[in-house]
């Protein structure tokens, strides 16, 4: 076998002329990237990026995004191959400043888009294509807790550390509540590809598994604790539910359903996640707490893209424009805080020696922020203005 050629050296960069967010302040400075890291005080660089009139910010860490499902199935029953969908999603995320992403992959008892076959295929595809994706992309397993048939295989994935995080979801109880009103379940029925009567019968059968759900969750949580895999509880319905999950070592409350539940998490030093689209739209579309209000009350530590990637870069600027929190600290909601909560201590801030995940953003009054450039581990992965490269 012939020897492999040495890997090409990654050029060093200086980002000059902009205002750099570091240590909670935005100051005029030059940021240097070398060998994939932030290089404070480095000398001459190979390339220069003109960041004049731009904000130089840490790359965005998205802990829950499932907008990639639109690339997989842009219309009900119309699917595309995984490679095309994942590469297109990669480009979308880069253009929106996301440098680390946890794809929220739901494995449910439902057939179709959120069924077992798709969950397995996505995991395999991410492992195969990962080296060719520019965003550091990880697998956020959204486990439907009534999916008891998947438990044994998920335990294998956890033991092999194939997943980036594990979230416990229960949408089955809500489906069962509306089984007499199929119009309320139209989206789920359409996604499954089943006849409405067959889908409702399946909901009935699955909901009957309720006594076995809690023991299954306990086994999965114990395995994830052993493997040091971060865990989230999704849509906690009450402080009691949050306390139950805390007892299992689930330290992140994702989209708590009301303010008392969020307060229960925060009082114990746990991270809470709300949706960036909620901030940008001015409230929840499902009647849940307004994310901006949760930020104002210090009850939200992390914002996630949820179903719309552009919202993540826009949300901190919306919070700043509305006087909720200045951009210098609002940006932590999409960078430093999610990195810390998920054990990614090498990113989320522009500190010397950390990963050079950096974005340059144009923020003009009356317009949404525009990500002009995205650097992932020191590599220029997206640029919307080539004239700035020197």
In this prediction, residue 266 carries a pLDDT of 98
In this prediction, residue 184 carries a pLDDT of 66
Q: Which of 152-161, 198-207, 314-323, 324-333 has the lowest mean pLDDT?
A: 198-207
The pLDDT of 184-200, averaged and rounded, is 76
CB 28 within 8 A of CB 64: no
CA distances from 129 to 9, 71, 79, 94, 200 (A): 22, 16, 19, 16, 37
Q: If you count them, how many residues does the chain have?
A: 390
List the domain boundaries for the chain.
6-59+349-390, 75-348
Look at the pTM and tell me if it is higher than 0.75. Answer: yes
Give the CA dihedral 87, 89, 95, 97, nearest 10 degrees. -110
Q: How far apart are CA 107 and CA 85, in angstroms?
A: 18
In this prediction, residue 180 carries a pLDDT of 63
Topology, domain 6-59+349-390: Urease, subunit C; domain 1 (2.30.40)
User: Would you say the CATH fold of 75-348 matches that of 6-59+349-390?
Assistant: no
CA distances from 230 to 44, 70, 226, 296, 373 (A): 40, 26, 11, 26, 30
Residue 207 token pair: 């909901």
Residue that is written with structure tokens 């998490």 in the block: 265
Residue that is written with structure tokens 């989209």 in the block: 255
The pLDDT of 207-222, averaged and rounded, is 96
In this prediction, residue 72 carries a pLDDT of 86
In this prediction, residue 203 carries a pLDDT of 81
Q: pLDDT tens, 87-110?
A: 999 999 999 999 999 999 999 988
CB 102 within 8 A of CB 65: yes
Q: How far apart are CA 297 and CA 107, in angstroms?
A: 33
Strands 47-50 and 13-16: parallel
CA distances from 169 to 209, 253, 254, 304 (A): 15, 11, 10, 16
pLDDT confidence band for 380 (50 / 70 / 90): very high
Q: What is the DSSP string of 164-218?
A: SEEEEE--HHHHHHTTT-GGGGHHHHHHHT--HHHHHHHHHHHHTTHHHHHHHHH
**If you average pLDDT over every residue of the chain, what do you get?**
93
Q: Give the count of beta carbons closer than 10 Å to the beta carbon of residue 83.
A: 12
Nearest Cα neighbor of 175 from 196, 148, 149, 154 is 196
- Domain 75-348 is classified in which CATH homologous superfamily? Metal-dependent hydrolases (3.20.20.140)
The pLDDT of 29-42, averaged and rounded, is 90
In this prediction, residue 204 carries a pLDDT of 86
Residue that is written with structure tokens 């570091």 in the block: 22
pLDDT confidence band for 5 (50 / 70 / 90): very low
In this prediction, residue 173 carries a pLDDT of 84
Q: How far apart are CA 95 and CA 362, in angstroms?
A: 13
More confident residue, 132 or 192: 132
In this prediction, residue 49 carries a pLDDT of 98
Q: pLDDT tens, 300-341?
A: 999 999 999 999 999 999 999 999 999 999 999 999 999 999
In this prediction, residue 4 carries a pLDDT of 46
More confident residue, 173 or 97: 97
The pLDDT of 237-241, averaged and rounded, is 97
The pLDDT of 32-59, averaged and rounded, is 92
Backbone angles phi, psi at 156, to 5 degrees: -65, -40
Q: pLDDT tens, 250-301?
A: 999 999 999 999 999 999 999 999 999 999 999 887 778 999 999 999 999 9
Query: N- to C-terminal Cα distance for the chain?
Result: 40
pLDDT cut 90: percent of the chain above it: 80
CB 38 within 8 A of CB 32: yes
In this prediction, residue 1 carries a pLDDT of 38
Q: 245 CB contacts (<8 Å, ≥6 apart)?
A: 168, 221, 233, 236, 253
pLDDT cut 70: percent of the chain above it: 96
CB 72 within 8 A of CB 88: no
């Amino acid at each position: 076998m012939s020897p492999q050629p040495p890997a090409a050296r990654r050029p060093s960069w200086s980002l000059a002329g902009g205002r750099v967010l570091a240590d909670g302040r935005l100051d005029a400075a030059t940021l240097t990237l070398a060998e994939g890291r932030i290089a404070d005080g480095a000398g001459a660089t190979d390339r220069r990026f003109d960041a004049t009139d731009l904000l130089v910010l840490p790359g965005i860490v998205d802990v829950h995004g499932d907008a990639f499902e639109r690339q997989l199935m842009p219309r009900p029953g119309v699917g595309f191959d995984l490679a095309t969908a994942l590469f297109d999603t990669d480009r979308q995320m880069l253009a929106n400043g996301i440098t680390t992403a946890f794809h929220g992959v739901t494995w449910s008892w439902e057939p179709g888009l959120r069924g077992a076959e798709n969950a397995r295929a996505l995991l395999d595809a991410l492992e195969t294509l990962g080296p060719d994706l520019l965003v550091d992309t990880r697998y956020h397993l959204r486990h439907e807790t009534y999916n008891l048939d998947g438990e044994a295989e998920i335990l294998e994935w956890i033991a092999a550390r194939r997943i980036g995080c594990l979230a416990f979801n229960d949408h089955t109880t809500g489906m069962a509540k509306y089984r007499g009103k199929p119009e309320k379940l139209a989206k789920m029925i359409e996604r499954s590809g089943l006849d409405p009567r067959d889908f409702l019968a399946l909901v009935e059968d699955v909901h009957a598994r309720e006594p076995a759900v809690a023991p299954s969750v306990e086994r999965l949580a114990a395995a994830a604790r052993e493997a040091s895999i971060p865990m989230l509880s999704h849509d906690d319905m009450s402080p009691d539910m949050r306390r139950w999950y805390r007892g299992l070592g689930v330290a992140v409350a994702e989209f708590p359903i009301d303010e008392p539940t969020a307060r229960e998490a925060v009082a114990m030093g746990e991270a809470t996640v709300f949706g960036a689209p909620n901030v940008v739209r001015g409230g929840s579309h499902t009647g849940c707490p307004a994310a901006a209000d949760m930020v104002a009350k210090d009850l939200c530590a992390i914002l996630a893209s949820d179903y719309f990637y552009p919202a993540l870069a826009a949300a901190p600027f919306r919070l700043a424009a509305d006087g909720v929190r200045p951009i210098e600290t609002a940006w932590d909601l999409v960078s430093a805080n999610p990195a810390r909560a998920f054990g990614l201590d090498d990113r989320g801030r522009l500190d010397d020696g950390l990963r050079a995940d950096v974005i340059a953003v144009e923020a003009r009054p009356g317009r949404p922020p525009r990500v002009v450039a995205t650097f992932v581990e020191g590599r220029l992965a997206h640029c919307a203005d080539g004239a700035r490269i020197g």
